[in-house]
A and B are shown apart, each in its own frame.
Chain A
Amino acid sequence: MGISFLAPLFLGALALLAIPIVIHLQRRNRSRVVAFPSLMFLRQIEKASVRRRRIRHWSLLMLRLAALLLLVMAFARPLLDADAPAASAFAEGRERVVVLDASYSMGFDGRWDRAKRAARDAFADLAEGEAGSLIVFSDRATVRSEATTDLLKLDQILAAESLSPRGTRFAPALKLARKLCVESKQPRQEVVLISDLQRIGWDRSEDVGLPPGVEVSHVDVAEGRTAASGNFALSGLVLERDRSAGLERIGAQVRVHRRGGEGRALVPVTLMVDGRELQTLDVDLSPEGSELVAFSPFSVPPGIGRITLEVTGDSLEFDNKLFFVVSRGQTLSVLLVDQTRRGSQRSGLFVQQALGLGQEPAISVTRRSPTQWARADLEQASVVVLSDVAVSAEQARDLRSFVEEGGGVFLALGNRSEGSVDDLAAAGLMPCRAPGASRRSEGTVVRLSYLDRQYPGFKPFEAPRTGDFGTARFFRYEQLEAGPGDRVLARFEEGQPALLEREIVDGRVFVWASTLDTYWNNFALQPVFLPFVHQAVKSLAGFRPPAPSQTVGEVVDLADLLAQGKLLELEALTVAAPSGDDSAAAELLQLDEHGFYEIGRDGDEIAAVAANVDPRESDLTALDPEEFLAALSVSAAEGTDLGDVEEVSPGDRERAQGLWRFLILAGLFVLLGEVLLANRLSAFSAAVR
C-alpha cells in the first residue's frame, strides 16, 4: 500500500514547522524596545539573557510541531493506493514521456532542429530498462510511440517527424501524456515538454494538470532568442469586387505584421495570380509594427483564380503566404413583375432601382408585366418579385412549382393584387385572408414596430444604428393572419404582420403586406429600403458569399461547396492536396496542409479551396515557464478525463481519500493538549515567580 497526495503543493506548508523555532530564535528582533536610563549594571549580566534563546519547554514545542504537521498533511489530502506499489523517488524504473511541439511556429529560427535534438537527448539519457514515449502535438496530439525501450525505433520516428501547418494547443497533448502516465507500468513517470511555449497555446480554462508524483520538465527551444529580422506574417485579407464597364475587378488588401526584430525593415509583399507575379509592394515595418497593404484592382481570371500573397525576409515560411481563391462573381437573376400605375409610374420602379445597385452579388433584373411573364422566365430566375400585380390561378401554380424547386418569391400586396390573393392562397404561397378582414382605412398612419433581427437574412440590421425601420409610414396594408408554419418577420404597430415568411419544400416565400412603391407607404423613400430589398432577395435566393479561403484544420463540406455553383455530384471526383497527393473526394474534406486543394474530375478542375495557417500562431510571445509548469503540477485527480483509465467506485475513492479527516481530528486533539499543557506551564511559571 502506498500513499500519495492529491494536493502535494500543500506539503510545501511543512516549512511552517520552522516557524515556532524561528519565532523563538528571532524574537529578539521583534521584542519591544524600552528606553532605560543606563545599561551600567545590565552589561555585567548580559550573558544571562542567552538563556531565553534556549528552548525551555520541549514538550510544548513538540506538540505544536506535531499539530502543524498533522494539519498540513490533512490539507495535502493523502491518498491510499491499495493496489499499486507506492511510487517512490527511490524506486527503480521510469517512463519518460516526451511531448514534442510540432506547430508551425517551431519553424522559426532553428527551433525545430533544437527541439528534435532535445527529444533525442531525452531518450538517449534513459538508463537501461527505462522506457520512453513520444507525443507529437500542434493543435491536436498524437501518440507516435507508446512506452518502449527501443531507442533506435524512437530515433527513427523522430527523424520522420516534420512540422505541421497547425497552431499550438497544449491541452490535448498533456491529456494524452496524463493518460500515458496513468497507464504506465513503471514506478516513476516523467514528462518532458519540448516547446516554444507560445502563449496562445494555453487556454487557462483547460485542465492541463498531470497526476501527482509525475515529474515535469520543460526544454525551452526558444531560449529567449529572436532573429534580427523578426517574424513577418500576413493576415486580415479583404477583397473588394468592382464591376464597371463590363469588367469585374478585385482589389485586395492585406495586413503585414512584424513580430519582434530589431530596427526598421523594408520587406516586399507580392501578389501572384495562378503562380504569376502581378504586383510587388515594399512595406517599411518597425518591430512589433503592422501595415495595411492595398494592391491595385486586377481582373478576375476566367475559371478559378488562385491568388497568393507572399512576404519574404524571415525564417518562418508558414505564415509568409496567404492563399485565396476567386472566381467571377455570381449573378442573382431576379424576375420583377410589375405594372404601370396611374401617372405612368411603375409599381416595381423602386425595387428595380434598388436591385440594380447590387455588387456582392451582382443582381440581374428582368422586368415583366403581369401578362408577359411565362414559365420560361421562371427557369432563368432565382427570385421572383411580384410588386402589386394580379396573377392568375395558373401563374400561381407555376410559382408554387418554382418555389418547391428552390426558388424564392417576394409577394408585395396592394390594390392590383387584391383579386389574386385567393388564388395565391389557394396555391399555398400565402395565408388565407382573415374572415371579415378589411383593408386599413385611409387617413390613419402606422409604422413598423418590429423586425425579426435574429432572422439570418436580417442579421445585418442587428447592430444599433444599422437601419431605422420606424421612419417609414404606412397608409394602407393588407391584414394578414400567419398560418401554421409561417414566420412573422415584421409587424406593424398594431401587431398585424407586415412580413411573413413561408417555407415550401426547398424554397420560400416572403409576403409583404403593403406595396413596394410609394402607393400605400413611403417605405421606398427611406434609406433602409435598399438594404432591406437586397437582404430579402439574398435570403430568398439562399445566397451565401463564397469564402475565399479556409484555415488549416477546418473541414469543408464539399457537397455544399459544389452545390453553390449547382455543379456535379461527388462521384468520381478527386482532390489534390497542396503537397500533390491525390485522393478520392469524400463529402467532408479535412484541410491538413496549407495551400490550394484542387477538386477535379477526369483532369478538369471544378473547384479549389485555399487553406491558410492560423494567423494567431504567428505571435511568438511565450508563456512564463514557471507559471505553466506550476499549472501542470497541480493535481488533476478530480474532474479529469483519464480516457480508458480503470474506473474506481465512488465509495472506494472516498475511502482512499478519507484519511484527511482523521488527520484533522488528530491535529485538533494535539492542539487541545497543547493548550492544556501551555496553561499548566504558564501557571507553574507564575507560581515560581
Chain B
Amino acid sequence: MSRPRTYGSVGGSSVTRFLEPRTLARISNLDLAARTVVEGFISGLHKSPFFGRSLDFAEHRAYMPGDDIRLIDWRVFARSDRFYVKEFEADTNTNCTIFLDVSASMNFGSESAISGSTSISKLEYGKYLAACLAYFSHKQRDRVGLVTFDNSIVDFVPPSAKHLEEVLHTIDRIRPGGEGSLRSPLQQAGGFVKRRSIVVLISDFYEEPDEVLAAASLLRGRGNDVVAFHLLDPVELRFPYQEILDLEDLESSARISLHPEAIRAEYQRLIEGHVATLSEKLTEGGIDYHLYDTSVPLDFALYTYLSTRQRTSRLR
C-alpha cells in the first residue's frame, strides 16, 4: 500500500503529494486505487447518527462457553435442539448511497480532445471518486450502495455493509451510457433510499440549474444528506481551442461549427454562470455542492472537500 508522501506546502500548510488522476488510472485494481487515495485521511464524512449494534445478520455459530446467552437463537434451538448464537456484521453507522452519472457526456477527457492522446475522462474521475467514497464509508462502517444512471437507472447495488466489493466491482465495469437526464432516474432511485442516508450525486449537470435542483431535491426526502459533486473537464471550463472546428455532442451526435476564439469569452461567461447558479441554488436547497476540475488530483479534491466538511460538520 502506498501512502501519499509529503510534498511541500500550499497556502502555508503542509499537504500531501497528491495523486494525479492519470496515475490512478494506471492502477487497475479499483480497491487498491481507492485505498491509495483514502488511506491517511483521519476524519470521516459524518458523525454516527445511531448508538447500538449492527443489525446486519451474518451467520450462525455453535455456542461456546462464555458466549452471551442473549445471543442464542432460540428458534434454531427449537428446530435443532442445539445452541447456536447469531453473529452480526460489523457495526454500522449510516447508509451511504452513491449516484454516479454514466451518460455519454461524462465520457469526455480533455487531453483526448486536444492532443488526441488518451487521458482520464470525467467518468473515470467519477468512478475513482465513487470508489474512494465507497471505500471511505466502508472504513467508517457505513452501509454502501451504488446507483448508476444515464436517463434511467443502469445499475443498482443496495446499501449494505457487505457490499463494498460488489460496489467496487460494479464501478469497475461501468461503461459510458447514452443521453443523460437527472429527474427520471433519481425519481426511480428515490424509492431505494429507505433509511436516512448520505446520498452522493456525481454528475456533470448539463441541465438547467432549476432542473438539477428539482431532481436532487427528490433525494432530499427522509432527511437525507445530499452531496453533489459537479465534475467538469478543464476544457469545459476554459474552452482553449484555437482553430476552427466542428464540435460534436457526445450524447446527441449533433454538430456545430465554431470559431473558438470568437466565442471563448461568451462561453466562459455562460459556464461560469451555470456553475454559480448551480452552487447557489443547490446550497439554498440544502445540498452540498462541490465543483471538481478533473485535472485536480483526486486525493487533493477529497482532502479539500473533507476539510471543508469537517469544518461545517453537522449531526444528521
Interface residues of A (CB under 8 A from B): 27-28, 31-46, 48-49, 51-52, 689
Please give, as numbers and ranges, the residues of chain B lying within 8 Å of A51 by CB-CB distance: 259, 262
- Which of B13-21, B143-151, B236-244, B296-304 binds A? B236-244
What A residues does B113 contact at CB under 8 A?
Answer: 34-36
Contact assessment for B248 and A35 in the assembled complex, using a CB-CB cutoff below 8 Å: yes
The distance in angstroms between the C-alpha atoms of A39 and B245, with both chains bound, is 13
Docked-complex contact A38 and B251, CB < 8 angstroms:
yes
Shortest beta-carbon contacts, A-B, top 5: A52-B259, A37-B105, A38-B206, A36-B247, A41-B270
Most chain B beta carbons < 10 A, residue from A36, A37, A41:
A37
Nearest A residue to B244 via CB reads A31
Q: How many A-B residue pairs have CB under 8 A?
A: 90
List residues 258-286 of chain B with CB under 8 A from any CB of chain A. 258-259, 261-263, 266-267, 270-271, 274
Residues of B within 8 A of A27 (CB): 244
* Minimum CB–CB distance for A290 against chain B, Å: 63
A42 to B206, CA, bound (A): 12
Instruction: Give A627 to B106 CA distance when docked, in angstroms.
Output: 60
- Within the complex, the shortest CB–CB distance from B196 to chain A, in Å, comes to 33
> Contact mask B79-111 → A, CB, 8 Å, 1/0?
000000000000000000000000001101000
Q: What are 20 pairs between A and B in contact, CB < 8 Å?
A: A28-B257, A31-B243, A31-B244, A31-B246, A33-B246, A36-B250, A37-B204, A38-B204, A38-B206, A42-B267, A45-B263, A46-B256, A46-B258, A49-B256, A49-B257, A49-B263, A51-B262, A52-B259, A52-B262, A689-B261
Interface residue B142 (Cβ < 8 Å from any Cβ of A):
no
Interface residues of B (CB under 8 A from A): 105-106, 108, 113, 122, 204, 206, 233, 236, 241, 243-252, 254-259, 261-263, 266-267, 270-271, 274
Of chain B, the residue at the smallest CB distance from A41 is: B270
Q: Are A49 and B249 in contact (CB under 8 A)?
A: no
Residues of A within 8 A of B250 (CB): 35-38
15 additional contacts (CB under 8 A) given A34-B246, A42-B263: A28-B244, A31-B246, A33-B255, A36-B247, A37-B204, A37-B250, A38-B105, A38-B206, A39-B256, A42-B267, A43-B256, A45-B263, A45-B267, A48-B262, A48-B263
Which residues from chain A contact B258 at a C-beta distance below 8 Å?
42, 46, 49
In the complex, the chain A residue whose C-beta lies closest to that of B247 is A36
State whether A33 touches B249 (Cβ < 8 A): no
State in angstroms the CA–CA spacing of A34 and B109 once bound together. 11
Bound-complex Cα distance A27 to B248 (A): 16
Residues of B within 8 A of A35 (CB): 108, 113, 247-248, 250
- Closest Cβ of chain A to B251, distance in Å, is 7
Contact of B244 among A44, A45, A52 (CB under 8 A): A52
Which residues of chain A are near B256, meaning CB under 8 Å?
A: 39, 42-43, 46, 49
Complex Cα distance A66/B261, Å? 29
Give the chain B neighbours of A34 by CB distance below 8 A: 113, 241, 245-248
Distance between Cα atoms of A39 and B270 in the complex (Å): 12
The smallest C-beta distance from B155 to any residue of chain A, in angstroms, reads 21
Question: Is there an interface contact between B245 and A31, defined as CB atoms closer than 8 Å?
Answer: yes
Q: Say yes or no: A38 contacts B267, CB within 8 Å.
A: no
Q: How far is the CB of B292 from chain A (nearest CB, A)?
A: 14
B270, A32: Cβ atoms closer than 8 Å: no
Please pick, from B106, B241, B263, the residue contacting A37 in the complex, using a CB distance under 8 A: B106
Known contacts A31-B245, A33-B248, A37-B204: A45-B270 contact under CB 8 Å? yes
Nearest A residue to B204 by beta-carbon distance?
A37
| C-alpha gap A43/B252 in the complex (Å) | 13
Q: For B246, what are the chain A residues with a Cβ–Cβ distance below 8 Å?
A: 28, 31-34
Q: Are A37 and B245 in contact (CB under 8 A)?
A: no
Contact B243 A48 (CB under 8 A): no
State the main secondary structure of chain B at its contact with A.
mixed
State which of A31, A38, A45 has its C-beta within 8 Å of the C-beta of B249: A38
Q: Are A48 and B266 in contact (CB under 8 A)?
A: yes
- Distance between Cα atoms of A45 and B108 in the complex (Å): 21
Asked, given contacts A42-B247, A44-B270, A45-B270, whether A36 binds B262 with beta carbons under 8 Å apart, the answer is no
How far is it, in angstroms, between the C-alpha of A40 and the C-alpha of B259 when the chains are bound? 16
Closest to A37 in B: B105
Q: How far is the CB of B126 from chain A (nearest CB, A)?
A: 13
Tell me if B274 and A41 are in contact (CB < 8 A): yes
Q: Which chain A residues lie closer than 8 Å to B105 at the CB level?
A: 37-38
Given contacts A49-B257, A49-B259, A52-B259, contact A32 B243 (CB under 8 A): yes
Whole-angstrom distance between the alpha carbons of A300 and B273 in the complex? 115
Give the complex CA separation of A33 and B247 in angstroms.
6
Q: Which residues of B contact A42 (CB under 8 A)?
A: 247, 256, 258, 263, 267
**Min CB–CB distance A556 → chain B (angstroms):** 79
Name the B residues within 8 Å of A52 (CB-CB).
244, 259, 262
CB-nearest residue of chain B relative to A43? B256
**Contact flag A36-B108 (CB < 8 Å), given A41-B267, A49-B258, A689-B261:** yes
Which residues in A have their C-beta under 8 angstroms from that of B122?
Answer: 37
Residues of A within 8 A of B257 (CB): 28, 31, 49
In the complex, chain B residues whose CB is within 8 Å of the CB of A28: 244, 246, 257
Whether the Cβ atoms of B245 and A32 lie closer than 8 Å is yes
- Candidate in A34, A42, A43, A689 with the most chain B CB atoms within 10 angstroms: A34
Minimum CB distance partner of B233 in chain A:
A37
Complex Cα–Cα for A27 and B122 (A): 31
Q: B113 — nearest CB in chain A belongs to which residue? A: A34
Residues of B close to A37: CB separation below 8 A:
105-106, 108, 122, 204, 206, 233, 236, 249-251
Closest chain B CB from A159 CB (angstroms):
69
| Chain A residues near B252 (CB-CB < 8 A) | 39
Q: Which residues of A contact B266 (CB under 8 A)?
A: 45, 48
Given the complex, which residues of A lie within 8 Å of B248, measured CB to CB?
33-36
Taking a contact as CB atoms under 8 Å apart, the answer to whether B245 and A33 are in contact is: yes
Chain A residue numbers with a CB within 8 Å of B263 are 42, 45, 48-49
- In the bound assembly, the distance between CA atoms of A33 and B274 in angstroms comes to 25
- A31-B243, A49-B262, A52-B259 given as contacts; is B108 within 8 A of A39 (CB)? no
Q: In the complex, which of the residues A36, A45, A48, A51 has the most CB atoms of chain B within 10 Å of its own CB atom?
A: A36
A40 to B204 Cα, complex, angstroms:
12
Distance between B313 CB and nearest chain A CB, rounded to angstroms: 33
Distance between B250 CB and nearest chain A CB, rounded to angstroms: 5
Bound state CA distance, A36 and B107, in angstroms? 9
For the complex, give the distance between the alpha carbons of A40 and B249 in Å. 9
Residue from the list B244, B247, B261, B262 in contact with A39, Cβ < 8 A: B247
Bound form: Cα–Cα A48–B247 in Å: 14
Determine the residue in chain B with the shortest Cβ distance to A38: B206
Please, which residues of chain B bring their CB within 8 A of the CB of A39? Answer: 247, 249, 252, 254, 256
Instruction: Give Cα distance in the complex from A51 to B250, angstroms.
Output: 25
A32 to B258, CA, bound (A): 11
Q: Which residue of B lies closest to A46 (CB)?
A: B256
B123 CB to nearest chain A CB (Å): 10
Instruction: Name which residue of chain B comes closest to A36, CB basis.
Output: B247
Find the A residue at minimum CB distance from B268: A41
What residues of chain A lie closer than 8 Å to B267, measured between beta carbons?
41-42, 45
A36 smallest CB distance to B (angstroms):
4
How long is the Cα–Cα vector from A52 to B241 in the complex, in angstroms? Answer: 14
Query: Taking the nearest CB of chain A, how far is it from the CB of B36, in angstroms?
Result: 28
- Complex-state Cα separation, A40 to B245, whole angstroms: 17
Query: Within the assembled complex, what's the spacing in Å between the Cα atoms of A33 and B263?
Result: 17
State the Cβ distance, A331 to closest chain B Cβ, in Å: 94
Cα-based distance from A46 to B266 in the complex (angstroms): 11
Per the bound structure, the CA–CA distance linking A32 and B249 in Å amounts to 14
| Distance between A534 CB and nearest chain B CB, rounded to angstroms | 84
Residue of B nearest to A44 (CB): B270
Task: Please report the C-alpha to C-alpha distance between residue A533 and residue B255 in the assembled complex, in whole angstroms.
Answer: 92
Docked Cα-Cα span, A35 to B113, in Å, equals: 7
Q: Whole-angstrom distance between the alpha carbons of A41 and B255 in the complex?
A: 13
A32 vs B244: C-alpha distance when bound (angstroms): 7
CB distance from A412 to the nearest CB of B (A): 93
Please name the residue on chain A nearest to B266 by beta carbon.
A45
Least CB separation from B261: chain A residue:
A689
Q: Which one of B246, B250, B254, B274 has the highest number of Cβ atoms from chain A below 10 Å of its Cβ?
A: B246
State in angstroms the CA–CA spacing of A42 and B264 once bound together. 10
